[in-house]
Structure 1
């Protein structure tokens, strides 16, 4: 099992400037590397407090100089908002800063306000994602980029510095819908998803991904990456209080950023399936939906967190785990405590569980 740490770069802190928030997030990433996490990830978001990292490859280039062991993964580059040529160039440079410990994460984005800010029609998202992924992967394989399609007209140019490697064997794709899961499988990438509701409801999409991967590539899919907003505390009641405050805040941020109270997804080609989730939130009500979201995440004492992972492994088999310990305005000392408790008490047991799971399989 690989275990990752994800910076979401969210400033819901009442008393911190954006610079102070960045410093706190950087300290968490450096601590995760020191504590033995396998990978460090960072999201890409724009224009508001929901996520303040508009260039996650640039952020990881900085972490490359401050860390020693962890793999560095943009989680993810949102391809419809980025020029594929620039993505390929920046990934080539990142590898020079951290040779042998870089992977590529890609996604197509969901927030209407971010698409509007970039003047990109959401109806073009899937085409831009699929073509952009092909161009970036080919360029990092071949060392040049060239395209003449309706979406991308790119005269042949070399990628310099020359790419040290390709990323088809180190590719992660964010998947929050069946369409995205199938796209991840077709590209041969590992599926990374965010836990949103009771884990049983995630299983059909995971199985769809696995089935499509086997059909396209003739082999078993890599383990999915399961991402939780995580709060760990020595005291059970304090863990619950922190979770209901700060994971609850994160749910409100998610709902607002992606406009899940609206009806617009049903009219956007490629995003129709998200309307079902939005309708579920509306029918259940915001308060009940928030509670469902909190309970789906991983919070509690170290023993409680281990048990939730054990229950998941019984359902899904082997998987890779990702933690978000800083979101919803949680104080950075509390986030650091979650990280430390996870590394010292949860991580060793997770690795043993994963090893037993592989032997049993």
Structure 2
């Protein structure tokens, strides 16, 4: 059985009071390089636009910069928001990234959630699901076959070669952002690994994980169901009280930025095709109130001393079986020295113990219980 995987996520936020964007960028790059040195399996970077919430408008370009500076970690755009891109350009840029880091690439894709970003790109959010599905198939086929073509509703693409030629396809290295059950089912249909951000106690994520597993097994009966990717905003500190202080200060600020960026205090999701499910989450936030919602969000993340974090991973393994742990250490204006300390301590104390624990679970596959009972 393979080891449990750990990834590091750059979110490229600048809520720092005294840092300009260049200094923030240097701090984020230093974190990524430290994650590679400390043995993280992969380096990820989000794509966002027009706001301090996330200042990496081209994560494939960013990973191309990291490629010669890193040694072992896989490089994963987490994720390319397909409706905002020409599929041809996505395929070309991924092919180039492979040449900078042969054997060290994977592909992450998503469809985006922020209305402000869709407006900036002059895109109709009502079209996002159809655009995503059409573009995803074109990009995956292009990287498999070495050429791209399309005659769909949105992309009329004459057949052209991808040069340099892709070194690999991504049927076994595809990650799909899934923050709703619809997106989880779309990930399963494409054959991608579901990547989600922890928002609630893990028990509330289980139904979507199980739906994904069941759908994946039905769409791809000849394949093992891949482990889901669970993303936490993390603080790791030797002192439990200091860990709690940092978590409640900076995770709370991060939560406020999430609600603001995605307009979770609004009612617009119910009127946008393909996003109706997000309105329920927005309504929960409004009904609970901001203070209570902040507290619930902070408590759902995996933070604390190394021992506390290990125990929370143990609880998750017991509940859902094997998963891929993706962690974010820099957010909410947290000073980079705190983020670096979290990363170092997590790598030294948490990763080895959780991998040991994972290897002793005896759970080789991630098939849902209902399917396992059916044989």
Provide the TM-score with structure 1 as the length reference. Answer: 0.99
**What does residue 198 of structure 1 align with?**
201
Residue from 296, 309, 313 that aligns with 1:309: 313
RMSD, aligned α-carbons: 0.8
Is the 1:318–1:358 Cα contact (8 Å) retained in structure 2? no
Distance in 2 (alpha carbons) for counterparts of 1:360 and 1:255: 37
**What does residue 142 of structure 1 align with?**
145
SS at match of 2:219: helix
1:353 lines up with 2:357 in the alignment: yes
SS at match of 2:311: helix
SS at match of 2:362: helix
Residue from 260, 278, 284 that aligns with 1:280: 284
Q: Show CA shifts across 1:239-287 (max 9, x none).
A: 1110001010110000000000000000111000000000000000001
Q: How many residues align?
A: 361
Distance in 2 (alpha carbons) for counterparts of 1:199 and 1:95: 35
> Kindly tell me: are residues 295 and 150 of structure 1, through their superposed partners in 2, closer, same or farther at Cα, counting changes over 3 Å?
same
**What does residue 130 of structure 1 align with?**
133
**What does residue 174 of structure 1 align with?**
177
**What does residue 2 of structure 1 align with?**
5
Q: Show CA shifts across 1:44-84 (max 9, x none).
A: 00000000000000000000011000000000000001110
Residue from 74, 77, 80 that aligns with 1:74: 77
> Kindly tell me: are residues 135 and 360 of structure 1, through their superposed partners in 2, closer, same or farther at Cα, counting changes over 3 Å?
closer
Q: Show CA shifts across 1:116-146 (max 9, x none).
A: 1001100100001100100000001111111
Distance in 2 (alpha carbons) for counterparts of 1:73 and 1:327: 19
Q: Show CA shifts across 1:162-207 (max 9, x none).
A: 1111111110000000000000000000111000011100000000
Deviation at 1:150, TM superposition (A): 1.9
Is the 1:210–1:220 Cα contact (8 Å) retained in structure 2? no
**What does residue 15 of structure 1 align with?**
18
Distance in 2 (alpha carbons) for counterparts of 1:180 and 1:187: 11
Residue from 240, 250, 253 that aligns with 1:249: 253
**What does residue 94 of structure 1 align with?**
97
> Kindly tell me: are residues 134 and 346 of structure 1, through their superposed partners in 2, closer, same or farther at Cα, counting changes over 3 Å?
same
Deviation at 1:220, TM superposition (A): 3.2
The unaligned stretches of length 5 or more in structure 1 are: none
Is the 1:325–1:338 Cα contact (8 Å) retained in structure 2? yes
